[in-house]
Structure 1
Amino acid sequence: MTNPGFDSVAAAAYVSKVRWQFAKTMPQWPHEYTVREWAPELEAEFEAFVALIREAGVIKPWPRTSQKPRYRLSYLTIGDWEYWSMGEPIARTTIINRAGSAEVG
């Protein structure tokens, strides 16, 4: 369940504090990711953000243009970025991804 005090404003503050790495192995799908372990002091915020993505986000297929999408994930748009995580339980989620809203596809 989402932390009631963790909203899009708190999420925007969180994403400004963590390191984002370009996913070099997937240049055909440009996106960045952050890893829970990179900021252990922000673990509670990491989990709250994953919960917010999953509860307040919109379920979309990926790839978006595929007849048979590989995934159906929850995407949350904040500013010009769309954020998502994969389907692991929150306690086992290690990565949050993001891409420019126009690039997710």
Structure 2
Amino acid sequence: MRIVLILEYDGSRYCGWQSQPAGCSIQDALETALSQIAKEAIRVITAGRTDAGVHALYQVVHFDTLAQRPISAWIRGVNALLPGDIAILWATEVSDEFHSRYSAIER
């Protein structure tokens, strides 16, 4: 199943969006929390990336999972595991044809 998330974050203390070996990115924090809820490794795809220190108000990401969870687990459950400066605002299941990057109509 494919899930899309809308998140916001204060990027002040992060090295940007994209995963880094040091684990200091927004993507690293999000994938760690999602993987805990899914009980499997989760990789997210986004429409665009931010640089170090940049904030986001409406970042669209998607991921694929075999885990069957209620939508509330992808919001409240993951938020409980994320640092306070990253928050999932919304989530829903989407068709496999949806792609955060290629389905975006504006950035």
Fold match (TM-score > 0.5): no
State the TM-score, normalizing by the size of structure 1: 0.28
Which structure has more relative contact order (CA 8 Å, sep 6+)? It is 2
Which structure is higher in helix share? 1
TM-score, normalised via structure 2 length: 0.28
